[in-house]
A and B are shown apart, each in its own frame.
Chain A
Amino acid sequence: MSKDDLAKEGFLDPIISTASCQLLSQGAEARVWSGEFLGRPVILKQRFKKKYRHPVLDKHLNHSRLKQEVRSLLKARKLGIPTPVLYDVELEASTIYMERIAGCSVKELLKKGMSPADRHSLGRKIGQLLATMHDGSLVHGDLTTSNMLVRSDSQDLVMIDFGLSSISGLAEDKAVDLYVLERAFNSAHATSVDMYDAVLEAYKQHSRQWCPTLNKLADVRMRGRKRVMVG
Chain B
Amino acid sequence: MTQALCLGIEGSANKIGVGIVREDGEILANPRHTYITPPGQGFLPRETAVHHQEHVVSLVQQALKEAKVAPKNISCIAYTKGPGMGGPLVAGAIAARMLAQLWKVPIIAVNHCVGHIEMGRIVTGARDPVVLYVSGGNTQVIAYSEQRYRIFGETIDLAVGNCLDKFARVLNLSNDPSPGYNIEQLAKEGSQFIELPYVVKGMDVSFSGLLSFIEEKTKELLASKTATPADMCFSLQETIFAMLVEVTERAMAHCNTRDVLIVGGVGCNMRLQEMMQQMVEDRGGELYAIDERYCIDNGAMIAWPGLLAFKQGQFTPLEEATCTQRFRTDDVLVTWRD
Contacts and interface: CB of A to CB of B under 8 A. Distances in A.
A164 B202 contact: yes
B279 A52 contact: yes
B267 to A, nearest CB: 16
A7 interface: no
Nearest to A9: B282
A190 B112 CA distance: 35
Contacts of B249: 28
B82 A231 contact: yes
Contacts of A226: 154, 156
A164 to B, nearest CB: 7
Contacts of A231: 12, 82-85, 112, 137-138, 325-327
A61 B198 contact: yes
Interface string B169-193: 0000000000000000000000001
Interface in B241-299: 242, 245-246, 249-250, 252-253, 274-276, 278-279, 282
Contact of B202 (A50, A53, A57, A141): A141
Interface in A204-231: 225-231
Interface residues on B, range: 35 or more
A15 interface: no
Contacts of A230: 83, 137, 325-326
Interface in B147-167: 151, 154, 156
Contacts of B154: 226, 229
Contact of B278 (A51, A57, A228): A51
A225 B153 CA distance: 10
Contact of B279 (A50, A60, A164): A50
A56 interface: yes
A227 to B, nearest CB: 8
Contacts, number: 73
A164 B83 CA distance: 33
A66 B45 CA distance: 46
Interface in B302-333: 325-330
A28 B253 contact: yes
Contact of A229 (B276, B282, B328): B328
Contacts of B83: 229-231
Contacts of A176: 202
Contacts of B215: none
B62 interface: no
Contacts of B140: 229
Interface of A: 27-28, 50-54, 56-57, 60-61, 141, 164, 176, 180, 225-231
Given A51-B278, A180-B202, 13 more contacts: A50-B242, A52-B278, A54-B238, A56-B193, A60-B195, A60-B198, A61-B198, A164-B202, A227-B156, A229-B154, A231-B12, A231-B112, A231-B325
27 contacts: A28-B250, A28-B252, A50-B242, A50-B246, A50-B279, A51-B282, A52-B275, A52-B278, A53-B242, A53-B245, A53-B275, A54-B238, A54-B239, A54-B242, A56-B193, A57-B198, A57-B239, A61-B198, A225-B151, A227-B156, A228-B326, A229-B154, A230-B83, A230-B325, A230-B326, A231-B84, A231-B112
